[in-house]
């Protein structure tokens, strides 16, 4: 208000051109400020994304390698407890831990007391025996021989090698005793410590030992769940939207349904989990923790997204196409299946993939149906218990062992990779099939 009166007063004395120039300048300045604010917002968002990615990658990148130590292992049949009997059953049940411990004691003979030997034995992972079992079962002639083998290191040793646990001796409360640190340095000086690509992370299921824990069980669980989700939500969603968009009369009922579908899209996902618990588990008696149930619950979450996207895509098909088809004698069904659906498919697929990407990142609804659980075995069918990727992230983030910190970040990276791939395919599909009228 004061500004306009001021301007009016100034206007009385200044020539018009000057006023216009001043006003123009002010308008340009306003625009420049607006642009700067917009750009600032984008940069801020990118900055946060950068920080997020930087911390996750910084924390997690080391989880993709794993430390191994080289030890001379003697396949001593007396220690293995399989004297005489070398059948496959005996080889499978043999005590491989004993020969690993014995080999460690021989490598570091200065460890004499029980406490020292315990520390020494703990340097190699409790899962290292699996490799030895595989070797000996494949080649029983190894019995009695000595081989120089790379064994999986314990998680604390792994953390020390990667620099997450201090290497100086004499720190009170360090996870690794001075003895262990000295032995580790000695192994390193002999070239008997190596980091390799962490294959277990990709091939095994969950474990309480960080060095043995893998994502494969969760990846398979996620794939099973998403396939079920797709099989259920895509046909249902498309059928619903075809009916609502092309066939249903426009009346109060369809309006009500439409409002409700839009509302469903905003319902917190944990509510769908409760629904799944009540209907699928308690009434239908389906198994707990199964990807089948997880997929069904996630399908419910996806449905509104798919329906809304599919209806929008069908609305975008010009009426002239429907009219032309009808004019040439096509029935209503033919118009839909031969013209409307193919033309709206890119939009429907994009919506579906975005809905699935959303489903991939859900944990809350799965908590209710028992998928947030410690599951070691890799699921073979959608009826077997399984976890999914975000659940694995959640479980590892809550584990006390230090080595799970980097593995949590690694799991997040894998999850983000999947999400990025799904979103990328959505973009490519749209690019490829998109039509402009």
Partner 1 sequence: MLRKTMAVAAIAVASLAVAGTAHARDQIRVVGSSTVYPFTTAVAEQFGKTGKFKTPVVESTGTGGGFKLFCGGVGPDHPDISDASRAIKASEIENCAKNGVSEIVEIKIGYDGIVLAAAKRAKHIDVTRQQLFLALAKEVPVNGKLVENPYVTWNQIDPKLPTQKIEVLGPPPTSGTRDAFIELVFEHAAESFPELKELKKTDEKAFKKAYSSIREDGGYIEAGENDNLIVQKLDANPNAFGIFGYSFLEQNEDKIQGSMVDGVAPTFDDIASGKYAVSRPLYIYVKKAHVGQIPGIKEFLAEYSSEKSWGKTGYLADKGLIPLADGERKEWATKATSLVTLTK
Binding residues (CB under 8 A) for partner 1: these are 92, 118, 122, 126, 165-166, 171-175, 207-209, 228, 231-232, 234-236, 238, 281, 284-290, 292, 296, 337, 341, 370, 372-377, 383, 385, 395, 397-402, 404-405
**Cβ contact 290:382 at 8 Å:** yes
**Sign of the C-alpha dihedral computed for residues 113, 116, 118 and 124 taken in this order:** negative
**Cβ contact 184:123 at 8 Å:** yes
Of 65, 58, 216, 85, whose CA–CA distance to 140 is shortest? 85
Residue 404: what are its φ and ψ, rounded to 5°? -75, -15
**Sign of the C-alpha dihedral computed for residues 335, 337, 340 and 342 taken in this order:** negative
**Cβ contact 401:304 at 8 Å:** no
CB-based contacts of 320: which residues, under 8 Å, 6+ apart? none
Burial 175-204 (b: 16+ CB within 10 A, else e): bbbebbbebbeebeeeebbbeeebebbeeb
Q: How many residues does the chain have?
A: 437
- Three-state SS string over 128-149 comes to CHHHHHHHHHHCHHHCCCEEEE
Looking at beta carbons only, is 111 or 192 nearer to partner 1? 111
Q: Give me the DSSP letters along 292-327.
A: HHHHHHHHHHHHHHHHHHHHHHHHTS-HHHHHHHHH
Q: How far is the CB of 137 from partner 1 (least distance, A)?
A: 13
The Cα–Cα gap between 39 and 26 comes to: 20
**Sign of the C-alpha dihedral computed for residues 23, 27, 29 and 30 taken in this order:** positive
**Cβ contact 408:236 at 8 Å:** no
Q: How far is the CB of 398 from partner 1 (least distance, A)?
A: 6
**Long-range CB pairs of 187-194, under 8 A, 24+ apart, other chains included:** 187/69, 187/70, 190/70, 191/70, 192/69, 192/70, 192/71, 193/67, 193/68, 193/69, 193/70, 193/153, 193/161, 194/67, 194/68, 194/69, 194/70, 194/150
State both tokens at 34.
């607006």
């Amino acid at each position: 208000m004061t500004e306009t009166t001021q301007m009016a007063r100034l206007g009385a004395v200044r020539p018009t051109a000057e006023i216009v120039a001043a006003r123009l300048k002010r308008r340009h300045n306003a625009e420049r400020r607006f642009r700067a604010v917009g750009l600032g917002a984008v940069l801020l968002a990118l900055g946060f994304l950068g920080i997020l990615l930087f911390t996750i990658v910084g924390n997690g990148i080391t989880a993709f390698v794993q430390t191994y130590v080289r030890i001379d292992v003697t396949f001593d049949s007396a220690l293995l407890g399989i004297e005489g009997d070398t059948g496959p059953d005996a080889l499978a049940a043999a005590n491989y831990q004993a020969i690993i411990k014995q080999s460690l004691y021989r490598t570091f003979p200065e460890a004499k007391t029980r406490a020292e030997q315990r520390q020494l034995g703990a340097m190699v992972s409790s899962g290292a025996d699996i490799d030895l079992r595989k070797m000996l079962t494949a080649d029983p002639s190894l019995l009695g021989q000595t081989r120089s083998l790379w064994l999986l290191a314990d998680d604390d040793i792994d953390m020390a090698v990667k620099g997450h646990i201090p290497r100086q001796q004499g720190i009170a409360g360090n996870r690794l005793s001075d003895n262990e640190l000295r032995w580790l340095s000695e192994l390193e000086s002999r070239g008997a410590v190596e980091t390799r690509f962490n294959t277990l992370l990709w091939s095994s299921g969950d474990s309480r030992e960080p060095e043995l824990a893998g994502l494969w069980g969760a990846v398979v669980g996620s794939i099973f769940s998403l396939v079920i989700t797709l099989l259920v939500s895509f046909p249902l969603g498309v059928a619903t939207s075809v009916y609502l968009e092309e066939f249903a009369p426009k009346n109060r009922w369809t309006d009500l349904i439409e409002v409700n579908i839009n509302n469903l899209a905003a319902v917190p996902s944990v509510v769908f989990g409760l629904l799944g618990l009540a209907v699928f588990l308690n009434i239908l008696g389906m198994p707990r923790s199964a990807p089948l149930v997880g997929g069904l619950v996630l399908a419910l979450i996806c449905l509104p997204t798919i329906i809304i996207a599919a209806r929008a895509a069908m609305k975008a098909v010009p009426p002239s196409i429907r009219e032309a088809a009808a004019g040439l004698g096509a029935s209503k069904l033919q118009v839909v299946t031969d013209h409307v659906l193919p033309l709206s498919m890119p939009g429907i697929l994009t919506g579906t993939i975005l809905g699935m990407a959303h489903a991939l990142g859900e944990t809350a609804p799965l908590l209710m149906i028992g998928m947030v659980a410690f599951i070691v075995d890799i699921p073979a069918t959608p009826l077997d218990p399984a976890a999914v990727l975000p659940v694995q992230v959640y479980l590892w983030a809550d584990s006390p062992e230090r080595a799970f910190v980097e593995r949590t970040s690694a799991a997040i990276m894998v999850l983000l990779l999947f999400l990025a791939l799904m979103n990328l395919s959505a973009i490519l599909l749209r690019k490829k099939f998109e039509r402009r009228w």
